[in-house]
A and B are shown apart, each in its own frame.
Chain A
């Protein structure tokens, strides 16, 4: 059985490590008929050097996993039906559908697709049995991170995406609360929703302490509304104003957005006094897992200001290096903290004062708050509940 894992148009670091770990888990799970599963990961095309670097990041020594160039092409549904006569889906009133191009067989040589769900992508033509992997439906809780108003095209694309999710073999997430969103918000029937095992980033390099000064507080954030940057910066300002001189580093793929010199646009959105707080923190922009691991290995505490990250990246990273976590209390984060045995300092609302209190408490307790790292076996649990939905008996 050959399964394609199709990444979204702009996969962040989180999607890339998940695709790699998912491929590894599928390989270990195997097909229902006992056959092995091979995996083709579709990685969106970009300048060749960058693409090769990411390809290398996603590959291991396993010959059963390959990475292909992926280009999401949009065509009218009627055209897609002419191009692929076997396409069977209700596409009424949908203006365009996305097709995965790989400059070869275009993934139709695979037996099934796992689409890393991105509602902004709109409808994906289901040319093979499809499962959608949903990390979260953060747009339900932080819509301003996705759209500027009711008429924004994101909402139309989301509605079209959801219509195809409802027709998929299954839609899965790793969290029960996210599955509630998949049901109540995306409108997928419960009998098509699967709770999948939790994927975790490989501990590898992150547990080896790298050179460089230690970091008291590693703030994982990207400069957009989903991470509430203005409120978070105001929390840092309060900390500083109260005499807290901890070494704080903000880290992310676009952490330069917090740099007083490079991130003027982001910082403009924050109140002036909070903006000045950015001058008291270091920025580490990371491009891949290895760079992130180097930063993680130096930290004593992880803080994520994400408002609705369904797989709480901050919790996973804290667990990866065995340090405590600070973040907003919401069901998925609480559940993950519990599952992974992470010491957590939650704040109940994303308000600067509450965040500052939680950070102060965490900073004063890091020395006495041991936490367990990820077990290397945690991510090898059985994925057959998803694979069985996708599997078709040969000749069926």
Chain B
């Protein structure tokens, strides 16, 4: 549980081998927590994943500013352990068996002060012997129920129907529930899932800071030299990945906007793409959009892939999913502007706002509960927000900001710096407290 002055905190993930990890929402939060813990040296986060997934996670965590086997350790049940477990319990043939064997492994092999379960549908955490805090990122399907396969998700035994029950049970089983915002705590935690409000701790994210990934950036400012170095990262990546169109591409000379997100029913990437389509095709402006959203060709729950395919916009709306952290940061730095068109996030504000401003790029945001909660303490951000349905308003704001991106980022930087005063070290401590109960009645 303690190694020298460090406390071990378990991180529970049932994401199976082959699942996306790098740059996924909660995976990024795990990364930030680890970096926060590394700042103080108080914790070792022990990430437990199903067998076969550990190396994927290690590859990602090795890009953090944190030391392997000191600040973090990734565990997976060993083959020998699973073989023994199978002898006693039968074959590992489904999710629940995987989770059960993981829990058995955790209970016997991993000594931690408490666990953080990263998703409420990871039911295996209920088998853990120790204390646990369960994350409640959000309950998006209950806000955005249309767009999912109706029978699969919303039938009497549909996945989201079951999710609600499973989430309620898993969250109630924990000694603490961590929500990232007040709006999720109230609307999803209390109203939808019926949780006891006293169980929920609202622990907003600390603003992420991408500048340390690009150490040549000083004072969060862009210079021709920092842009050149960031563009070199992008060019190297394009060459390594065989992205023909982007090999030797002059990113630092090319005006582009960035949309950094997955594509989900809430993400509204299609409307941001439509803004760029209008600016390029109808108005003949020299502009591109780079996005980390993948193109889910044929999907009808999103407007994005259809727009790219119907208009053959793939050279001006460029999808670059699954990029490593330095490439992600370099895209943010080289972009003239980031757009966060999302209807809804489970956090306070948007990660892209913090990430963009941290490397000198402004971010315009669609208004939703997440942005309203941010503006409670940063009302000055309001001029750089828009109705996410209003393509004309988004277009107008894009053009306004492109005229003087420096003025826009100067407006946004103070809000970022204010929030940064509470860093990831404090958040890591809050998570550890919730998991281990250091600040609860027992600790007292």
Contact = CB atoms under 8 A, between A and B. Distances in A.
Interface of A: 90, 92-94, 140-141, 143-144, 147, 149-150, 155-156, 158-160, 162-163, 166-167, 177, 180-181, 183-185, 187-190, 330-331, 349
A32 to B, nearest CB: 27
Contact of B250 (A143, A180, A183, A331): A183
Nearest to A137: B315
A296 to B, nearest CB: 28
Contacts of B247: 90, 163
Interface stretch (B26-34, B138-146, B200-208, B280-288): B280-288
Nearest to A308: B284
11 contacts: A90-B247, A93-B244, A140-B316, A141-B281, A149-B309, A155-B315, A160-B244, A163-B248, A180-B286, A185-B286, A187-B250
Query: What is the interface of chain A mostly: helix, strand, loop, or mixed?
Result: helix
A362 to B, nearest CB: 22
Contacts, number: 68
Leading 7 A-B pairs by shortest Cβ distance: A143-B312, A180-B286, A184-B286, A159-B244, A187-B249, A159-B245, A166-B248
B107 interface: no
A143 B315 CA distance: 10
B253 A330 contact: no
Contacts of A141: 280-281, 284
Contacts of A160: 244
B255 A184 contact: yes
A162 B250 contact: no
Interface in B27-46: none
Query: What is the interface of chain B mostly: helix, strand, loop, or mixed?
Result: loop
Contacts of A187: 245-246, 248-250, 254
Interface in B302-323: 308-309, 311-316
Contacts of A158: 315
Given A93-B244, A140-B316, A155-B315, A184 B309 contact: no
Contact of B254 (A90, A159, A177, A183): A183
Interface residues of B, number: 27
A169 B249 CA distance: 16
A140 B287 CA distance: 11
B18 interface: no
Given A183-B250, A190-B250, A190-B253, A155 B286 contact: no
Nearest to B246: A187
B238 to A, nearest CB: 10
Given A90-B248, A183-B286, A187-B246, 9 more contacts: A90-B247, A141-B280, A141-B281, A141-B284, A150-B308, A155-B314, A155-B315, A190-B253, A330-B284
A184 B254 contact: yes
Nearest to B251: A187
A267 B164 CA distance: 57
Given A93-B244, A150-B309, A163-B244, A184 B314 contact: no
A177 B284 contact: yes
Nearest to A183: B253
Interface in B246-270: 246-250, 253-255
B245 A162 contact: yes
Interface in B72-118: none
Nearest to A184: B286
B311 A143 contact: yes
B242 interface: yes
B284 A147 contact: no
Most chain A CB within 10 A, of B253, B312, B314, is at B312
A385 to B, nearest CB: 19
A385 B27 CA distance: 53
Nearest to B249: A187
Nearest to A163: B247
A90 B314 CA distance: 24
Contacts of A331: 284
Nearest to A181: B286
Given A141-B281, A177-B284, A156 B244 contact: yes
Most chain B CB within 10 A, of A155, A167, A349, is at A155
Contacts of A156: 244
Contacts of B244: 93-94, 156, 159-160, 163
Contacts of B248: 90, 163, 166-167, 187
Contacts of A183: 250, 253-254, 286
Contacts of A93: 242, 244
Nearest to B253: A190
Contacts of B309: 149-150
A150 B286 contact: no
A150 B284 contact: no
Nearest to B250: A189
Contacts of A166: 248-249
Contact of A140 (B242, B255, B315): B315
Contact of B312 (A92, A150, A159, A184): A150
A93 B282 CA distance: 34
B284 A184 contact: no
